Each structure stands twice: as C-alpha cells, then as structure tokens.
Amino acid sequence: MIAPEGKSHVDISGVDLELFQRGAGEPLLFLHGGSGPERGSQFLDALAQQYRVVAPSHPGFGRSSLPESFDKVDDLAYFYLDLIDALDLDRVVLVGHSFGGWIAAEMAVRCCHRLSKLVLIGPIGIKVGGRETRDIADVFAVSAAELNRLRFHDPTSMREPDLTTLSDDELALIARNSESLALFMWEPYAHNPKLRQLLHRITVPTLLVWGESDGIVSPAYGAAYRDAIPGARLEVIAAAGHLPHVEQPDVCLEKVRGFLVEQQEDHQ
C-alpha cells in the first residue's frame, strides 16, 4: 500500500491514521514530539528535497483515531512497525523528536530489519538518575511561560500561537494532543524503566541531536542515551533548546544530512 503525496488517511491495524507525505527517494519516517504533528516546518521541507518524508500523526494526536487498547508507548512502537510493513517501506531512515524519539527507540530495540539509520532528536524515554532524581522536566506541572523557557534557548524568539485567535476546532486539536500525551507518558512518567538496558539491541547507525540549552532533558541525559547504543554519535547544537530542528533548523539539518550521507557512503 502506497499512500498518495500530501495529506491522506490510511487504515493501519484498525487505526484511521492521518498521514502527510512529500518528496521522493529513500523513505524517511518522522515521528513528531508531544506537542503534536509538525507540518510545513523548514526542517521537514528540506529533508523532503532528498527523501520521501512520511510524517504521521500519532494515534490520538491530530486527526488520527485512538484505539481503546492503546495506552502505552510500546503500543505505538508496534503500530509503527506495522505501518512500515503496510506501506512496504524498506531501508527506512527513522527520525524521532522528543516523545517521537522515545517511540523510535522502542521500535529499534524490537526490530531493525527494515531500518537503515536512526536519528533521535532530544528523545525522552529512559531513566538515567536515581529514584529521587528528576531526569525529565514535568511538562504538565509548569506554566506555559516556564515550559517555553525549558523548551527554547531564547523563548522570546519563538512565537507561540495566540489561543484567542484560534478556532474551536484548532483548540480542540491542541487539547486532544495534550490529553493523548498524558495518556502515553503518565505512569511511569515519560520513560520505560527497562528501555535503557535494551538499547544495546539497536543495530543500525544512530545519531543523537541535542540542544545545548535543553531544559526538558539535558545534554548529559543525551550522553547517557548515546553510551547505551552501540556506536552512537551525539551532536550538541549551541543556541538551541529542546527543539533544535525548529530553533536552529539549518545547523540541525547540516548535522543530520552529514550523518546520513556519511553512513550511505560507508555502505556503498
């Protein structure tokens, strides 16, 4: 099954999945972060110049349906492995940001046979410190202003939408994204206690990209992620927070493209 260019809905394992595609070439599956689907971003537009970018809305996010049985990140990991099979994608470049990076890591520890490369941008999902140590900022317990301070190197340069100008439909989507994020992240908060010890199962070249000013998960957390994945590389981007592909898209794109080209040349 090949979904058409642009926005479409496909049925995957009983999920009515909102799917955006653009570009042509080697497939690249992009898994968005917890704030919801990313559309028309400079980063994805640039990747689509070289790759067939497949960017779904997670079940429960955007306009994708949410099965009653889905309540854990491993449900999403298996679902996206089914998606790769259903779309007959092979040698997939798997890219995930934050919550989407956690899903991507869970996919890769289960099955890498259709993956060619893995790029994790500020992923959450593992436990690094002790039981009383907060590794991941609680995004549900802070104000919008504090959340922006944690997410961005320069919050004043990143304009958030004025909620008073949005339609009821747009507001409902924002609320739905937040509700689904809480469902999948809540207990235990934002991590799988067993994931870190399973990361050695990842057998594809892996790049981790981190913002130097990330207040959600620090670069030290990124280093722990890197150390658990055989041969993984960590690139830290200055003047960027938790969304380096948004705050510093050109630099982030240079890091990602360089890694992908290098790995492609190594396998020729």
2-11 pLDDT, tens digit per residue, is 455 688 899 9
Residues 21 and 4: their CA atoms lie apart, in Å, by: 7
**230 pLDDT higher than 90:** yes
pLDDT tier for residue 1 given thresholds of 50, 70 and 90: very low
Q: What is the CATH number of the domain that holds 167?
A: 3.40.50.1820
Instruction: Give the pairing type, strands 26-31 and 92-97.
Output: parallel
Instruction: Give the range of the structural domain holding residue 94, as residue numbers without chain letter.
Output: 6-266
Residue 114 dihedral angles phi and psi, to the nearest 5°? -100, 0
> Residue 195: inside a domain, yes or no?
yes
Contact 240, 247 (CB under 8 A): yes
Q: What is the pTM of this model?
A: 0.95
Q: Chain-wide mean pLDDT for the chain?
A: 93
Region 14-22 average pLDDT: 95
The predicted structure's pLDDT at residue 266: 66
pLDDT band at 132 (very low <50, low <70, confident <90, very high): confident
Q: Is residue 1 a part of any domain in this protein?
A: no
Residue 39: φ, ψ to 5°: -120, 135
Position 166 in a domain:
yes
Is 74 part of a structural domain of the chain? yes
Q: Cα(159)–Cα(38) distance, rounded to whole angstroms?
A: 15
| Top-confidence residue, 92 or 263 | 92
Confidence of residue 191 (pLDDT cuts 50, 70, 90): very high
Element (H, E) at 118: strand 115-121
Distance CA 242, CA 173 (A): 22
What is the number of structural domains in the chain?
1
Does residue 166 carry a pLDDT above 50? yes
| pLDDT of amino acid 163 | 80
pLDDT at position 264 is 72
Residue at 128 is within a domain: yes
Question: What's the pLDDT at 177?
Answer: 96
pLDDT of residue 268: 53
Amino acid 257 reads R
User: CA distances (Å), 134 to each of 69, 130, 186, 216, in order?
Assistant: 29, 8, 14, 10
Q: Which helix (H) or strand (E) holds 54?
A: strand 51-56
The answer to whether position 84 is within a domain reads: yes
Report the interhelical angle of 73-86 vs 168-185 (nearest 10°): 110
**Whole-number pLDDT of residue 80:** 98
Cα separations in angstroms, 62 against 32, 73, 86, 118, 215: 11, 17, 21, 24, 25
Give the whole-number percent of the chain exceeding pLDDT 90. Answer: 85
Q: Check residues 111 and 39 and name the one with the higher pLDDT.
A: 111
